[in-house]
Structure 1
Amino acid sequence: MIESAKDAEKAVSYCRFLSDGIRGSAHTVVRASNYRINEGYLSNYVEDLLIMFQVETLDGVKKVEDIAAVEGVDCIQMGPLDLSASVGYLWDPGHKKVKEVMGTAEKGVLKSDSKNGGGAFLDGLAMPHDPPAEIGKRGYHMVSGAIDIGLFRNAAVEDVRKFKITLKADSDGEDDKDDEKYWSE
């Protein structure tokens, strides 16, 4: 939830070691340095960083060009659900006003990308009201489809559904009300 260039500068500093930032220096015990096997990690770690911020409030949208212009910001991801709440249409990211605000933010990020040969890339989430092809037409550089927790939830719900079917098939016509109550989602 980045809402200003100052927020973005601070967040970038959390990703970088001293003297470029304030990240803790336990580089010898992190996976990115191969647990210190990569002796050159400190001299080239910045090249491997991908720093992404999410703009998900009206305040962030108002300052999105400034946020995208901050040195070290690689990508701005739009947060349609939180943005819809910020605009006053909780859980309605397809609402006309939300789409207008989203469009303003998108144009601001894309404008930063065209300045001086580059700026932050634009990333977004495909949703039922906003499929990947439409997002792509608007100039997005990256489009995310399913989210891991949603995939996990769907797999768990499907597993429970299959289990219920198995329970019903195995029962000898007994009353399954207790099972239904126990296995309800």
Structure 2
Amino acid sequence: MVGIFSKTIDSNLVEAISYSGLDFMIFDQEHGTVDLTTIQNHVRATKMGGMTSVIRVAENNHNKIGSAFDTGADMVQVPNISSVEQAKQAIEAAKFYPKGNRGVCCYVKAANFGTTEKSTYLTNANTKQLILQVEGKDGMNSIDSILELDGFDILFIGPYDLSQSLGYPGQVDHPEVVKAIEVLAKKVKATGKILGTFVDSFDKIKLFKEKGFRYIAFSVDLNLFAGLCKSIKKEF
């Protein structure tokens, strides 16, 4: 799957992108300003073109994770997982009993505002996918224990935060950063979990796809739009 991060507050832009054939959009609350009311409209917009909706919450917080799923989003992505305890907390927040302890409300958008039969909603909700981001030394040191857990589907390697944690901020192509990503990728692939990351150049999409990454986020919607505008200007 290939998709993009999103920082827009315009659901029309989200809908337009949904017709592109991209697999997903990640609505970013960690490094974005979009609120849940807007994101709920974004989630509706993705359905117009059959695109998967993902919310990256601001932090590993029980309420934020549950509320993100309440919008009807297909996946939730949790940043900065540094320990097996933090991974367990994210899973607990994302799943209903018996898989977790997510707060129960059967009258949210995800339950069609209460019109979906309650047991059906609760069962189906537990099939929604959870993405955990590992992006630092502590997470690397805990990766074996994290990967032993059930309840999450994708392990996302954050290259920029990882580069900073290793002492090379922003240098995602530094040999030490590349080596760390390869070590993590090998461990993830051995478990059968889906491997994800972020890239910001076209050649890296192909490179990481060849390395077994199946969930690749490419750049950011507003940056892509700005870049296209620059390209138009250069023609004059």
* Structure 1 segments of 4+ aligned residues over 3 angstroms from their partners: 148-152
How many angstroms does 1:151 deviate by? Answer: 3.8
Structure whose residues are more often helix by fraction:
1
Query: Matched residues in 2 for 1:133 and 1:19: separation?
Result: 39
Query: Matched residues in 2 for 1:136 and 1:103: separation?
Result: 13
1:62-81 equivalences in 2 (<5 Å): 62-81=141-160
TM-score by length of 1: 0.73
Report the counterpart of residue 139 of structure 1 in structure 2.
Answer: 212
The answer to whether the 8 A contact 1:65-1:112 is kept is no
Query: Matched residues in 1 for 2:98 and 2:206: separation?
Result: 42
TM-score by length of 2: 0.58
> Are 2:198 and 1:125 equivalent residues in the alignment?
yes
How many angstroms does 1:129 deviate by? Answer: 8.9
Structure whose residues are more often strand by fraction:
2
How many angstroms does 1:66 deviate by? Answer: 2.0
How many angstroms does 1:59 deviate by? Answer: 1.2
1:108-160 C-alpha deviation (Å, 9 max, x unpaired): 111121xxxxxx210111233961111011111221213235346x27x949x
The 3 A distance-change label for structure 1 pair 129 and 44 is closer
Q: What's the secondary structure of 2:216's corresponding residue?
A: strand
Larger-gyration structure (1/2): 1
The 3 A distance-change label for structure 1 pair 57 and 19 is same
Structure 2: tracts of 5 or more residues without a match: 1-79
Query: Matched residues in 2 for 1:100 and 1:84: separation?
Result: 11
Query: Matched residues in 1 for 2:106 and 2:147: separation?
Result: 28
Q: What's the secondary structure of 1:83's corresponding residue?
A: helix
Q: In structure 2, what residue type is equivalent to 1:45? A: A
Identity %: 28
Report the counterpart of residue 42 of structure 1 in structure 2.
Answer: 122
Query: Matched residues in 2 for 1:5 and 1:45: separation?
Result: 23
Q: Greater relative contact order: 1 or 2 (C-alpha under 8 angstroms, separation 6 or more)?
A: 2
> Are 2:56 and 1:56 equivalent residues in the alignment?
no
Aligned counterpart for 1:99 among listed residues 150, 162, 178: 178
Query: Matched residues in 2 for 1:65 and 1:107: separation?
Result: 11
> Are 2:106 and 1:27 equivalent residues in the alignment?
yes
Moved more, 124-133 or 69-78: 124-133
Q: In structure 1, what residue type is equivalent to 2:92? A: S
The 3 A distance-change label for structure 1 pair 149 and 27 is farther
CA RMSD of aligned residues (A): 2.4
Residues paired across the two proteins, number: 152
> Are 2:83 and 1:10 equivalent residues in the alignment?
no
Query: Matched residues in 2 for 1:12 and 1:149: separation?
Result: 31
